[in-house]
């Protein structure tokens, strides 16, 4: 059992967990992008840099949210089947990357899941179990091939009326990378960015050691972790059944939906964590690999360079793929090597 020294504390306990020693530089956090976002700039923590980062996060949310009124994403959705909509380069870039991952994952990752997400209402105030007929009625609207992108004009068109984009599986990753750019521009030496468990570490710890990021125990309360990954200048993003869900009739329904059959994905996985250098890739890949399941998810991860994955299963087994630097700490879990 790996012991965390007593003088160390667990910081920012959402989703993936930062495990580290407090150094007297508390992080600043705000509710943005639908979650608690925390940033720690340590000894270089100037207010103007914090402001620049949170302003940028809010700007991204203001363009890409489907829950806030008046966003560019909402405008694209309102014009589905009607006409192409001109968007900011931010929005175009994220949709373009979402389409790339839809293609790479054979449609397991699909940013047109919007109508399904609304039907289930998971994460909202009124989640419910839809009928089979309702699901079958919206499934034809879920197809990333019906997104038309015009790179010259920066327009996005959803071909069928009723289609809707949802960037919930990728936008936080993009936002974390934008925070990274601000760190670089301001010559910050080390920082931690935690966008609701979507973690990016910048530089290394003051003593030159790597950051230790906890992988959330998907079966336990928030903050309990099954092990850690040791990383520098990298990101760890987890997609898991515990993040957003509701229960009815004794069954738990989580928020990652199958574009094939319209229900929360059930394939024996509890979570998939991706370790890599760019957060937008990690975010898209954790969702993709979760939907694909272990065999096909692993094949996708291994087809890409510099990507590691931690797959956690319902039977408390763990399988690793690529370079993860994962160290198990909870001995009720076990690592299997295929």
Which region among 24-32, 124-132, 207-215, 249-257 touches ligand AMP (by CB under 6 A)? 249-257
3 state DSSP class of 64: helix
Beta-carbon contacts of 295 under 8 Å, excluding residues fewer than 6 positions away, are none
Over the window 151 to 170, marking each residue x when it contacts ligand AMP by CB under 6 A and - when it does not, the resulting string is ---------------x-xx-
Interface with ligand AMP (CB under 6 A), residue from 14, 16, 77, 239: 239
In the beta sheet, which residues pair with residue 245?
254
**For the CA atoms of 286, 244, 32, 184, what is the dihedral angle to 10 degrees?**
-20
280: contact with ligand AMP by CB under 6 A:
no
Interface with Mg ion (CB under 5 A), residue from 169, 215, 291, 318: 169
- How far apart are alpha carbons 247 and 253 in whole angstroms? 6
Minimum CB separation from ligand AMP for residue 125, in Å? 15
> What is the Cβ-side half-sphere exposure of residue 324, based on CA atoms within 13 angstroms?
29
Helices 279-292 & 89-104 angle (0-180, nearest 10): 40
316: contact with ligand AMP by CB under 6 A:
no
Interface with ligand AMP (CB under 6 A), residue from 80, 97, 117, 292: 117
Q: Are strands 28-32 and 35-40 parallel, antiparallel or unpaired?
A: antiparallel
Minimum CB separation from ligand AMP for residue 173, in Å? 8
293: contact with ligand AMP by CB under 6 A:
no
> What is the Cβ-side half-sphere exposure of residue 41, based on CA atoms within 13 angstroms?
21
Interface with Mg ion (CB under 5 A), residue from 257, 283, 308, 311: 283
Minimum CB separation from ligand AMP for residue 48, in Å? 30
Minimum CB separation from Mg ion for residue 330, in Å? 24
**196: region left, alpha or beta (phi > 0 left; psi from -120 to 50 alpha):** left
Nearest in space to 23 (alpha carbons), one of 170, 205, 180 = 205
287: contact with Mg ion by CB under 5 A:
yes
On the 0-12 / 13-18 / 19+ scale of CB atoms within 10 A, 247 is exposed
> Which partner in Mg ion, ligand AMP, none is near 320 (CB below 5 to 8 A by kind)?
none
Interface with ligand AMP (CB under 6 A), residue from 217, 243, 281, 330: 243
Which region among 44-52, 181-189, 282-290, 303-311 touches ligand AMP (by CB under 6 A)? 282-290
Residues near ligand AMP, by CB under 6 A: 109-111, 113, 117, 123, 166, 168-169, 239, 243-244, 255-257, 259, 283, 286-287, 291
């Amino acid at each position: 059992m790996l012991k965390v020294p007593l003088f160390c504390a667990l910081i920012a306990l959402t989703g993936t967990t930062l495990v580290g020693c407090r150094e007297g530089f508390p992080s600043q956090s705000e509710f943005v992008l639908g979650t608690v976002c925390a940033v720690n700039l340590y000894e270089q923590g100037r207010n103007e840099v914090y402001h620049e980062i949170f302003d940028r996060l809010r700007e991204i949310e203001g363009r890409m949210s489907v829950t806030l009124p008046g966003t560019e994403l909402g405008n694209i959705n309102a014009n589905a089947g009607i006409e192409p909509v001109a968007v900011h380069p931010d929005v175009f870039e994220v949709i373009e990357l979402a389409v790339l991952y839809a293609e790479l994952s054979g449609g397991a990752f699909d940013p047109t899941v919007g109508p399904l997400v609304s039907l289930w209402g998971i994460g909202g105030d009124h989640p419910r179990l839809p009928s089979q007929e309702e699901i079958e009625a919206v499934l034809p609207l879920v197809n990333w091939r019906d997104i038309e992108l015009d790179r010259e004009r920066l327009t996005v068109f959803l071909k069928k009326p009723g289609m809707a984009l949802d960037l919930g599986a990728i936008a936080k990753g993009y936002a974390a990378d934008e925070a990274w750019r601000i760190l670089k521009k301001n010559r910050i030496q080390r920082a931690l960015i935690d966008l609701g468990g979507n973690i990016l570490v910048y530089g290394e710890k003051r003593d030159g050691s790597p950051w230790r990021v906890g992988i959330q125990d998907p079966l336990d309360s928030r903050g309990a972790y099954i092990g850690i990954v040791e990383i520098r200048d990298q990101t760890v993003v987890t997609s898991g059944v515990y993040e957003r869900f509701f229960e009815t009739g004794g069954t738990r329904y989580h928020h990652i939906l199958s574009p094939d059959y319209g229900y929360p994905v059930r394939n024996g996985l509890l979570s998939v964590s991706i370790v890599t250098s760019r957060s937008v890739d990690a975010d898209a890949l954790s969702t993709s690999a979760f939907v694909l399941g272990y065999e096909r998810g692993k094949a996708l991860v291994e087809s890409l360079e510099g990507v590691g994955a931690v797959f956690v299963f319902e039977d408390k087994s763990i399988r690793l793929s690529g370079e993860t630097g994962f160290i198990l700490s909870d001995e009720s879990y076990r690592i299997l090597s295929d």
